[in-house]
Structure 1
Amino acid sequence: MKKTLGPVSLTALGVGAVIGSGIFTVIGVAIGGNQMSAASLADSPVIDLILHHGAVAGRPGAGPALAVSLILVAIVCALTGLCYAELASMIPIAGSAYTYTYATLGELVAWIIGWDLILEYAFSNMSVSVGFAAHVVDLLDWLGLKISPKWLSPAYLPLGLQDLQGRDIYLPGWHGGFNIPAFLIVLLLTVVLVRGIKESAETNNIMVLVKIAAILVFIFFGISFIHPGNYVPFSPNGWSGVLAGGSIIFFTYIGFDSVSTASEECKDPQRDVPIGILATLVVCTILYIGVAMVLTGMVPWQSVAGDGAPVVNALKRVSLTPGGHRLHWVRLAVLLGAIVGMISSILVFQLGQARVWFAMSRDRLLPSAFSKVHPRFRTPAFATWVAGVLVAIPAGLFDVGTFAEMSNIGTLFAFVLVSMGVIVLRYKDPKRHRGFRVPFGPVIPVLSVLFCVLLMAGLPAKTWIRFFVWLVIGLVVYVFYSRKRSEFYAPEA
């Protein structure tokens, strides 16, 4: 590839990838938490089970202290991003973590990461789709169109559903409806991906500018409606809440890996990649902290718990108060920016998920149907359709918090393996050419592993259980199917 990218281009690429749906949707789940009426082992974060030797009442919210969570997440991403960059620079082709580990650490580790990436991409897009639907509901409300919430909200609502006055629309549990907008947007974009899409740099730049503009508009207009009393207490659940908030919001930052995977096209990867990663994280962290501080200053932090569209709903609440009428059009601008951002995020991650399946099938670890290319559109149509259906149906059933938890544990586990891979390869293959080398020896990879595990500990016990079940299923598939089809398989005599 041509070496044309410098630090500014890399930073623009990273900011465009990181600024997506999380800043408009998952931020509410991280701030408000998932408080239960009674203590439960399954719903308690693992770190609380270890430190408190018992269950707590659900996952605590970070409250206004989410700003601290965001700084922690940025540090972890910086450490992991440097490890990712070294691994990517060792492989002469562009690709995903699956591709890199297959070429450096072997088939079994690659299978585990590939299986993990399927989980990560799927649940990430389910989360984004539910957030998209929540913003569509707000847009319909802004236009004065009233549709039954039964068809605009997930079928399962762990915290129930309330109107802006705090009145119950649905009690916690199943309510027999279906989130139609979340379901339809995934299927619509699946059709687009099957037919083929070539996103130009100009289009991507426009989307990035729209998303950033929506964020800045919210911060600029919302700052005058901040009530300092909403910041007290600043950290209502202490370090437990800060850690849980960081664990939930983590996946919204994973776009930074686009910087490391572009190392092959850098003019000076040793200098430009660290600058691009760190500049991306600094810019995005400032924007995220700005939104978090304005949001928790405008409305009480508890009010955004379980909200799929906390930013625009905060604008709506404030617009109903004296002097808030001027936020009516601000709310529309932020709504449109958020919707554009989420459509682009769903499109990119659905594309990525299908390509992981395609790569694993090409290596004969999944059935050959997943690597078949459509004769007319020249896209992996079967893999794309399967990915679309498997994301669309759950998106209609469950809430954003459930999806965010599963996506985050998958992402953090993949980053643990990538960081460990750097350490292993330093000893296993020290003379291999590295376009970029993580500084300070094994210190940064080790810190990356430790911080990722710490953030994983902020997730509920039931999320860990579901994740281990997923990994066990994957290993069973590998042992009884994939391993025997692999080109490296040698049957015993």
Structure 2
Amino acid sequence: MPASIQSPPDLPGPGRRKTLEQVLFENDTNGLKRSLTATQLIILGVGSTIGAGIYVMTGTAAAEYAGPSVLISFVIAALACLFTAFSYGELSSTLPVSGSAYSYAYISMGEKAAWMVGWLLLLEYGISCSAVAAGLSGYASSLLGVTGFHMPSALTHATLQPVPGTAGAQISADWRFDLIGFTATLLVTALLVRGVEESARINTMIVALKVGVLFVFVALGIGAVNPANWHPFIPASEGGFHYGVRGIFRAASVIFFAYVGFEAVSTASAEARNPTRDVPIGIIGSLLICTIVYMIVATVLLGIVPYRELDVPDPLAIAVKIMHTPWLSLLVNVGATIGLCSVLMGLMYAQSRVLLTISRDGLIPQIFSVIHPKFRTPWIGTIVLGFVVALITATLPIDIISDLVSIGTAAAFGIVCFTVIWQRNTRPDIVRPFSVPLGGIRIRGIWIGTTPALGILFCLVMTIPLVSDMVHAVTSGNPVPLILLVTYLALGIATYAFYGRRHSKMRPEPPLV
């Protein structure tokens, strides 16, 4: 970290693109507390990733798309994430800032592109938080039922729900309010306001618990594996993305976004003790750990339960029933409920830091960047975020736009990879404590890195099945997800045009009269 930067550098020319010196100055004067170690960053990444992906998505991906070959899907998705993780690692070692892909886009493509990336990140994290909170509510309700306490249905479901059989095209409204999801979100909000160091300690305990539960499941489940359930390893195609090779890639696109929790580590750069060293370790380390855990658990799960029976919200619970171990069923339920709390904490932490960075740039109101004098956290913005996510969880059906949010995530990942190429060509002089592997080639003097180029390619590969399904939904009479996405993007454009552009700290100074 250059200690010589004591005052804001001059603003760049047209295009409102930040310079490396500006980013470093902002990082030196952010007011946040530096307390996170490399170990805590790895745990943050693991805690933000291992959750709904292993407890829900694995079963759906296997049952609907890939069968036992979902293990290949894990490898494809892990490779896509690994190339992006390496790119994150290089950028976070030279640009230790809180804004993640938003900040990187500000440097490589300018303010307008950065705003759209930030707007997509807010959607990604917001919907992900709400989806995780809704899943947490479902497991918690089941756990309460095991103990003999049954919550009224009106307090465990969202106000709006898709009408069964309409693929989300029709929505029903009733006097419902997901009280468990609402309350859980507010409790996590309170922890994040109290301080990142305290939240990290609680997160460490939660991660240890849920990984321990998965270890027990694997250890006991090995004895119940029936190898016949792994055959045929690649089921014959049944049309579309149902099985066959196409199904493998469709499953990979689902699983790809079960890994995105590792991105939360990059938003912690401004609060890491030694960000140039620890953040790359946290990003890559958490991704590798999660990949190993995912594949081991999925292998055992698919060996216990025939893949066609896994299209349920709680696939691990189905496996435990086959194993005839009631106490393990209770343990898995507890692990899922508490484990999803750590995912929710990691995602909300990441979103609050993205809001903080965008607010400091003047593109949204300054209230989101007010730092608490004692806790040194963006407390007002975190509280506002917590209430918004809690209300979304309690009232809205999240699942109908999940794939569209995933497309936005892939776009953000692609921009991260592109920024590595941009920085290598525009600032070859800066010190890079961590560099992407595999080298690169030069085309007409322009350096093209192998790793970031592969990252961009894999992001495109991940989005093709998602876009194909979206087009199919529209042609089948279900335009709801597309309408919601277009509305959100239009709101983002209007917000920038009427507020962000006028209040941006990068706007040119008015001429002196």
Q: TM-score range by the shorter chain?
A: 0.7 to 0.9
Match of 2:51 in 1: 20
**Aligned positions of 1:25-40 closer than 5 A:** 25-33=56-64
1:443 pairs with one of 447, 450, 466: 450
1:53 paired residue number: none
Taking the TM superposition and a 5 Å limit, the aligned residue runs for 1:279-318 are 279-305=285-311, 307-315=312-320, 317-318=321-322
Question: 2:244 is matched by which residue type in structure 1?
Answer: G
Tell me the TM-score normalised to structure 2 length.
0.75
Query: Where does residue 182 of structure 2 map in the other structure?
Result: 183
Structure 1 residue 91: deviation in Å?
1.9
User: What secondary structure is seen at the aligned counterpart in 2 of 1:312?
Assistant: helix
Q: Could you list the per-position Cα deviations for residues 307-329 of structure 1 after superposition, in whole angstroms to 9, with x for gaps in the alignment?
A: 333323442x426xxxx1xx111
Structure 1 residue matching 2:150: 3-state secondary structure? coil
2:362 equivalent in structure 1: 364
Q: 2:332 matched to 1:334?
A: yes
Using the TM superposition, give the Cα deviation of residue 267 of structure 1 relative to its aligned residue in structure 2, in angstroms: 10
**Equivalent position of 1:73 in the other structure:** 77
Shift of the alpha carbon at 1:32?
3.6
Change (3 A) 1:116 1:200: closer
| Distance in structure 2 (CA, Å) of the matches to 1:4 and 1:357 | 20
Residue from 122, 133, 138 that aligns with 2:137: 133
1-structure distance, mates of 2:500, 2:406: 26
- For residues 372-427 of structure 1, the C-alpha deviation after alignment (integer angstroms, 9 at most, x for no partner) is 34678664444223322332233234556436424422321110111111112222
d(CA) in 2 for partners of 1:255 and 1:239? 27
Partner residue in 2 for 1:426: 424
CA spacing shift, 1:399–1:466, aligned 2, 3 Å: closer
| Structure 2 partner of 1:153 | 157
Extract unaligned runs of 5+ from structure 2.
2-33, 236-242, 441-448, 474-480
* Aligned residue in 2 for 1:352: 350
| Alpha-carbon distance in structure 2 between the residues aligned to 1:313 and 1:133 | 18
Verify the 8 A CA contact 2:356 2:378 in the aligned structure 1: yes
Q: Bigger shift: 344-353 or 294-303?
A: 294-303
Whole-angstrom CA distance in 2 between matches of 1:489 and 1:229: 64
Partner of 1:251: 257
After superposition, the C-alpha distances for 1:121-147 in whole angstroms (9 at most, x for unaligned) are 101111111110121122023213334
Contact 1:123–1:406 (CA under 8 A) maintained in structure 2: no
Q: Which amino acid aligns with 2:101?
A: A
Q: Is the 8 A contact 2:261 2:346 kept in 1?
A: no
1:91-490 paired onto structure 2 within 5 Å: 91-93=95-97, 96-103=100-107, 105-155=109-159, 160=164, 174=172, 176=174, 177-194=176-193, 196=195, 198-199=197-198, 202-236=201-235, 237-257=243-263, 269=277, 279-305=285-311, 307-315=312-320, 317-318=321-322, 324=324, 327-373=325-371, 379-398=377-396, 401-402=399-400, 404-439=402-437, 440-441=439-440, 442-459=449-466, 460-461=469-470, 466-467=484-485, 469-490=487-508
Question: What CA RMSD, in Å, does the superposition of the two structures yield over aligned residues?
Answer: 3.5
Q: Which amino acid aligns with 2:460?
A: V
Give me the whole-angstrom Cα distance separating, in 2, the residues matched to 1:381 and 1:274: 27
Quick one: distance in 2 between partners of 1:94 and 1:224? 45
Q: Which one-letter code corresponds to 2:456 in the other structure? A: V
Instruction: Tell me, yes or no, if the aligned pair for 2:89 and 2:283 is still in contact at 8 Å.
Output: no
Structure 2 SS opposite 1:458: helix
CA shift digits 1:234-257 (9 cap, x unpaired):
344123322222222223312334
Residues 372, 381 of structure 1: 8 Å contact kept: yes
Q: 1:449 to 1:119 in 2, by over 3 A?
A: same
Superposition deviation, residue 365 in structure 1 = 0.3
* Residue 67 of structure 2: aligned partner: 63
Deviations along 1:234-293, one digit per CA (max 9) or x if unpaired, are 344123322222222223312334666788866995xx8777655543432221122223
Instruction: After superposition, give the CA deviation of every residue in 1:311-355 in whole Å (9 maximum; x if it has no partner).
Output: 23442x426xxxx1xx11111112222222111221222222222
Query: In the aligned structure 1, how far is the partner of 2:190 from the partner of 2:41?
Result: 30
Q: Measure, in 1, the Cα distance between the counterparts of 2:55 and 2:36.
A: 33
Tell me the amino acid that sits aligned with residue 240 of structure 1: R
> Structure 1's 81 and 65: CA in aligned 2 closer, same or farther, altered over 3 A?
same
Which digits, 9 at most, give the CA deviation of each residue in 1:5-56, with x for residues without a partner? 77x88756644443334222333333344xxxxxxxxxxxxxxxxxxxxxxx
Secondary structure at the aligned position of 1:487 is classed as coil
* 8 A contact 1:156–1:399 mirrored in 2: yes
Quick one: distance in 2 between partners of 1:257 and 1:418?
11
1:49 alignment partner in structure 2: none
Q: Distance in 2 between matches of 1:425 and 1:114?
A: 19
Question: What code does the residue aligned with 2:291 have?
Answer: T
Cα 1:300–1:80, aligned 2, differ >3 Å: closer, same or farther?
same
**Aligned-pair CA distance for 1:232:** 4.1
Query: How many Å separate the matches in 2 of 1:405 and 1:282?
Result: 24
The answer as to whether partners of 1:14 and 1:255 remain within 8 angstroms in 2 is yes
Q: Assess if the C-alpha contact under 8 Å between 1:365 and 1:486 holds in 2.
A: yes
* Aligned equivalents of 2:40, 2:371: Cα separation in 1: 32
2:92 pairs with one of 68, 82, 88: 88
* Contact 1:308/1:400, CA 8 A, preserved across alignment: no
Cα pair 2:267 2:350 within 8 Å, conserved: no
Q: Report SS of the residue matched to 1:396.
A: helix
Q: In the alignment, residue 255 of structure 1 is paired with which amino acid? A: G
SS across alignment from 2:259: helix
Q: Is the 8 A contact 1:88 1:261 kept in 2?
A: no
Aligned 8 A contact 2:267 2:354 in 1: no
Residue 308 of structure 1 aligns with an amino acid whose one-letter code is P
Decide whether aligned partners of structure 1 residues 207 and 91 sit closer, same or farther in structure 2, where only a CA change above 3 A counts: same
Q: Give the AA of the match of 2:335.
A: G
- Report deviation, 1:173: 5.9
Secondary structure of the 1:241 match is: helix
Q: What are the superposed Cα offsets for residues 85-123 of structure 1, whole Å, 9 maximum, x if unpaired?
A: 111122255553323443554322321221121011101
Q: Distance in 1 between matches of 2:427 and 2:196?
A: 39
Contact persistence 1:120–1:406 (CA under 8 A): no
Mapped partners of 2:393, 2:254: distance in 1? 18
Quick check: 1:183–1:395 contact (8 Å CA) kept in 2? yes
Closer, same or farther: CA 145–232 of 1 in aligned 2, 3 Å:
farther
Give secondary structure in 1 for the equivalent of 2:430: coil
Distance 2:266 2:85 in 1: 7
Larger displacement relative to structure 2 (88-97 or 113-122): 88-97
Return the alpha-carbon distance in structure 2 between the equivalents of residues 267 and 393 of structure 1: 34
Residues in 2 aligned to 1:144 and 1:24: alpha-carbon distance in whole angstroms: 23
